[in-house]
Structure 1
Amino acid sequence: MPAPLAGLTVLDFSPLLPGPFATRILADLGAKVIRIESPDRPDLVRQGPPFVAGVAAGHAYLNRNKQSLALNLKAPGALAAVLRLVVQADVLVEQFRPGVMARLGLDYTTLQAHNPRLVYCSITGYGQTGPLRDRAGHDINYLALTGLSAGSGRQQSGPPPQGLQVADVAGGSLHAVIGILAALRQREQDGLGQHIDISMSDCAFHLNALAAAGQLAADCDTPAEGGLLNGGSHYDYYRCRDNRWLAVGSLEPPFLIALCQAIGLPELAARFGIDPAQAKRQLAARLAEQDRASWEAVFASVDACVEPVLSLPEALDSELARARGWVVDVAIGDDTVRQPAMPIRFSRAEAVYGQAGGAVGEHGRTILREAGLDEMEIAALQAAGALGPACDADLQQ
């Protein structure tokens, strides 16, 4: 079956996580993604352990299905080579601070003149405008400045550091993909591309749907442990006797009644309407009396929204993961590596799992030739020091 985005060409100038995650989604859906990397300033994701087949596992996943061109954008001839790629591209994704692409001669206004159909997506921490546009930031900063951190965690211990990059991925990456696909749809109607300004802090705020809506409409703040979903109710995590945990999401009355009946305290459901804090303490005490495995057996046949808190290895080995195909084998060199699968399922299309991300510039010769550069032009780039070592090796094939 065909991939949904087959025929699209994407130029990816982004390092680290948000941009590469977004373009990996596009690549999994069939787009041709050309990643343009610095030959002498490697992406930090390439250097982080663990490694598989000599490649960082994170890089191998984030850059799945992509081609790599190592190009020094400041070297003579590099800009002209990029423009040859731009005129053939549908989408460009960049993740530099505002103004960097303009200094390189690769800003949207300049490239639009070469390709009016280009959809140009900029991903930054604080957007192209505003007081923090030039400020550095990371995921924890975006969550802090948008109110998400203050509403999480415990009143005594404060907000917890997250084990995943919420603002980067759920904010920046996924909103970038939405914006790109929307702009491509509009281009079908009028033939013109446009610039998309993705701020990870904007998008993080957008994720805080219920609390932000309540605050804006009714001036109703939701501090940590002060709301229905952040520890202020029995919707919470509970420690078991063996120091493992259960996630209790029994919000609706039928689920709460089923929960209390399953743990042998049917009268507790009514107490939540009288003294919810005391009832929650009783629930916690009861769940602490048995190991997690015992409660798993109890709730296996009870529809009460109660599930075990699994470690990542346990989750990957679960029946759910196997049934839903969370993991795929992807080629890497002469071997394969297990990676997270594309989670979107189509009735008449399939995701692409061609190859894991590899060496910097490993597809340089192919990319430049397909862009229309002849051997003399490629040799000139090489002589000017514009091409990285992997591309040099490619040129000698």
Structure 2
Amino acid sequence: DTNFTPGFITVNRGKRSIALDLKKPEAAPILWDLIATADVFAQNFRPGVIERLGFDATTVLARQTNLVYLSISGVGPRGPYAKKRVYDPVIQALSGFTDIQADPLSGRPKMIRTLIADKTTAVYASQAVVAALLARERTGQGQHVEVSMLDTMISFIWAEAMAPLTKVGQEDFNVAATPHDMIFSTSDGYITFGAVSDNEWLALCRSLNRPDLIEDPRFKTAALRSKNRQERLEVIEASVGIFPTAEIIAKLEAADVPCAPILSRPDVLSDPQVIANELIHELHQPGMGQIRQARAAAKFSSSPHTKILAAPGLGEHSVPVLEELGYNPEEISKLITDQVIIKT
């Protein structure tokens, strides 16, 4: 159990693991042999490290021109922050993400309580690599793809969060969020819902037994409802609070108002839609026992998922990978003895 964490398992399940000490010169030929078999080479060292190791993009692509070489960094390879140590909260701070989450009353910035920058950057990087592989399919040429966490997150939030700054010369620097967070208390829990269109607003008012709100001059039009958003949400929340969660969800669903109960993380596991999607799977993880994991989100009609496999130990496949590359037992034994490779 001490060898694995849930996070390690989630990001490494189903992979093969070879561990090389690249500070030892004997490791370089092994990595070159691996690169010769690869479609993609990915590295996320701080700027300057991969160059010192001799595997920078210029060097590698000169030797293998059809390779897609991916570099992921915190803020990019150049600029005043390029050599900063960066973790997810640093990027949330630099990208404006914490400003979006700021408390509307105190103005105090807040973090998202998950590794949003790390994981979103991984998704953007995967998309970029697929695009580069398609370009290679058409041209025969590989290329260097650079993705930074900072660039990713600013791009990610731009459409809605940076909308007030989009029009040059007409920026609105004083856009304040209303205190309401779109979570409504019921008599036994919490729900959320959206009533954007006029029809949804009418349906919401009727579901809450508040037809008087339909003619309320503060809420007669979408523009007025937006202008008086905080007041509107407070009035609605007071009306929601008298209903049990199941009852008000049933009424809103019957009226076709988008809604959902606020689920705890344990409740997610037993949610009927999650079960219908066959999303959560159990498997045996050596060193940890029986675990559960969410499958990959995408489904493919012609290449369906295989079952989720356990995560490897560090260097678990060092020996078989070297054997596949043509190394003989004596060479492998010496590499292990000299701690060029790690084998678990």
TM-score, normalised to structure 2, is 0.88
Displacement, 1:179? 0.7
Q: Match for 1:163 among 104, 113, 124?
A: 113
1:186 equivalent in alignment to 2:139: no
Q: Match for 2:185 among 233, 236, 239?
A: 239
Report if aligned partners of 1:120, 1:196 keep a CA contact under 8 Å in 2.
Answer: yes
Distance 1:361 1:276 in 2: 56
Which segment drifts farther, 350-359 or 327-336? 327-336
Distance 1:122 1:164 in 2: 23
Displacement, 1:213? 4.0
Matching of residues 382-393 of structure 1 within 5 Å: 382-390=336-344
Q: Which residue of 1 aligns with 2:312?
A: 358
Q: Which amino acid aligns with 1:246?
A: I
Q: Which residue of 1 aligns with 2:26?
A: 77
Displacement, 1:245? 1.8
1:129 equivalent in alignment to 2:78: yes
Which of these two proteins has the greater Rg computed from alpha carbons? 2
Distance 2:266 2:214 in 1: 34
Q: Which residue of 2 aligns with 1:92?
A: 41
Evaluate the alpha carbon distance shift between residue 119 and residue 370 of structure 1 in structure 2; reply closer, same or farther with a 3 A threshold. same
Which segment drifts farther, 176-185 or 355-364? 355-364
1:253 equivalent in alignment to 2:202: no
Matching of residues 325-344 of structure 1 within 5 Å: 325-333=278-286, 336-344=290-298
Distance 1:306 1:225 in 2: 22
SS of 1:328's partner is strand
Q: Match for 1:207 among 144, 156, 160?
A: 156
Q: Which residue of 2 aligns with 1:61?
A: 10
Distance 1:159 1:320 in 2: 34
Distance 2:323 2:153 in 1: 41
Q: Which amino acid aligns with 1:169?
A: K
SS of 2:42's partner is strand
Displacement, 1:224? 4.5
Count of matched residue pairs? 331
Report if aligned partners of 2:317, 2:343 keep a CA contact under 8 Å in 1.
Answer: no
Offset from partner CA, 1:204-244 (integer Å, 9 cap, x none):
11111123244122423474515xxxx67xx71122333x3
Displacement, 1:352? 3.3
Offset from partner CA, 1:134-188 (integer Å, 9 cap, x none):
1122222212222222122431243433232221112x11100011000000111
1:173 equivalent in alignment to 2:122: yes
Q: Match for 2:270 among 317, 331, 347?
A: 317
Q: Match for 2:326 among 360, 368, 372?
A: 372
SS of 1:197's partner is strand
Measured on the aligned residues, the alpha-carbon RMSD in Å equals 2.3
Stretches of structure 1 lacking an aligned partner (at least 5 in a row): 1-50, 391-397
Q: Which residue of 2 aligns with 1:225?
A: 177
Distance 1:136 1:325 in 2: 39
Q: Which amino acid aligns with 1:88?
A: T
Report if aligned partners of 1:91, 1:120 keep a CA contact under 8 Å in 2.
Answer: yes
1:292 equivalent in alignment to 2:241: no
SS of 1:267's partner is helix
Distance 1:111 1:238 in 2: 55
Stretches of structure 2 lacking an aligned partner (at least 5 in a row): none
Offset from partner CA, 1:233-265 (integer Å, 9 cap, x none):
xx71122333x3211222222112111111111
SS of 1:307's partner is strand
SS of 2:17's partner is strand
Displacement, 1:389? 4.4
Report if aligned partners of 2:316, 2:343 keep a CA contact under 8 Å in 1.
Answer: no
1:110 equivalent in alignment to 2:63: no
